Structure 1
Amino acid sequence: MVAGIRDVARLAGVSTATVTRALRDELSVTDATKAKVREAARRLDYVPSAAARALSRGRSNLLGLFVPDITNPFYAQVAQGLEDRAAQARYHCVIASSHLNPERERHLLTSFQDGTLAGLAATTVGTDERFTAALGATQGPLVLVDRRPRGIKAPLVRTDNRKVTRGAIGELLDMGHQRVAMISGPRDFDTACQRLSGFRLAYRDAGLGLPDEYIRHGHLGEEGGFRAMNELLALDPRPTAVFCFNNLVTVGALKAIRQAGLRIPTDISLLAFDDMTLFPLVEPPISAIDQPAYEMGRCAADLLLRMLDGEQGLGDVVLPAKMIIRGSMAPPGAPPNPTPPDGSRAVPSSRRADTEQPAGRN
């Protein structure tokens, strides 16, 4: 039978609270009592729980994950990766979503600053000075995932946004598209800036001009994608292909295309940043840039655990992404071509040269 804390307390002749304080090595317990408790624990082969061991080191065994929208499959996969890596180290996870609301984000962050978390991994929407100051004042290890708020110095786990976007848009231009539009995210998101930079570089590589009206800024979620796509479809001439900032924006854009009675890819090609499990299942299957969301979560947890073990000076980690070409991309005016179950193909993010460093720890 495995000994518990009550068995140790009974053998040592003290309370369970004293056992806990003694194993934490608290000053309120005399050296003689500590020795008695430790001897009782040794004789009984008592092993404290993961939580108790963490408390004895002066910290909790909880890691936090802060995301804008847990319903987004990308963040759900990040959460799964972080949770799995944390469990290997006997840590538990607390996950909170701001639902893309900066005010809610500030309140959640405040609640995380009471010392209950050993470390925090965060993807944020907040960009105002109050939020940045609060995030910078976070106690304990902090790791950023996907993007970095301005002014925050912490390790960041991200993908090569600019490089993979440059290569993906290059694929569309190589197919003969000269009017490729982009539904971009908020201008103050560094991910939106990086993807837009890659978009512009691909146009430059092809020696083409890029009309400003083919770029729609500041859109998130299905509603944002739906609204922006309707604006693009009203242009004359309208784009022959559209690149969407993320997966949920793509879902909204797809809805607008369907409602307009247009055919994919004959009338318009569609490309998403961030894959979804449903994208290969629609007709035609949706092409996407696939970020390794699960690995990003595992990596964030690994960085937090290394920081908790005392490592300092950890830098950013850049993971490779890949483009998956499916039936939603074709040359302008091409007739629908049913995609067989194994008809997608992956294109490495290194298709076109860029100035970013190879994936790995910087």
Structure 2
Amino acid sequence: MKRISQHFDELILYLSSIENLICVIIFANSIVALIENIFVWIRSRDFIEIAVVNSLEYFFNSVLVIISGFITATFKTLNHILIYFIVNVAFILRTYYGYFRTKFSSSMAFIVLKAIFLLLILLIVIIWLCRERKNLFVIVNSNRIMNTEIKEIYKWYHLQLTSCHIQILVAMFSEFTYISLLVTKYGYNVENPFEILKYLPWPNILSCIIALIMIKGVREESNRIMIIFYIANCILVIYFICALTVTIESILLTLKEYKENYDYYKYIIELEIDIVLCVISYFITVITMINSIICHKNFGKGLKEYLLKEELKPFRESYDYKDDLDNLYHERNKRNDP
């Protein structure tokens, strides 16, 4: 009993830190997001083609939520917590829409559970802001960076990190529009395993690749990686423009041909949601590219060396060359001295 009481006291002490409490909530939310995929499959298993497409979509969305949680737990800054909050709100709205639109989403219990996690995170952030009196978008710690030029460059690098996290929102939005356009054109047509590839959210995957290379290119100050990033980003921008054009054409065609009924209005609402998500994703992508160009112009001004020095600093501070063999060697030398 004493050991259990000791472990319980250690757990309470661990949870007393706001940062650690947020990490626990993020972990619990990630578990819920993974379990939810099983219920999505169960609710739509009688329609195997719909089950495959919906399960793929919800699986990739839950992976994005988990990645966002990992980033938030790593940096533990308020701007990343805010992005994580928005990502989860988008995921809840998508689940809510799927539940009432097609009845092939997960149950309301998961929607309520994720909403509770979000309210807890929001409450913790409010307490954190009141206790620490911090700005929500603290970019640079002035005490840590003394050089004024490096401080300015680091500010843009910090925005690049934030933009990388925001790419998760772009991935979620692009996945929704991509699946929506495919279902509109082909329906839930999965007759063989190869047709599953068609329903993979390729814009989603491209957004994740962009998020990786945009940080790698700036950290390593690599012109080659940045060129690849610009090409990939332009492809994504072209996709959003094409998706926006196709969606507007679909709305005009629907208004012209369909009769006024309930399904007609639901279809129009879905197309309008696609337009809003395409526009938001387009502007986020363009802003990300602009910030990347600014970071690219700062290559060769000391950011790479500064980041490397900061990464090695904890190792240099904790490194102690003395060990048992050194002590034994010095003791023997003292004995042999006349």
TM range (shorter): under 0.3
- Using structure 1 for the length normalisation, give the TM-score: 0.23
More strand per residue: 1 or 2?
1
After TM superposition, the score normalised by the length of structure 2 is 0.24
Give the number of the structure whose residues are more often helix, by fraction.
2
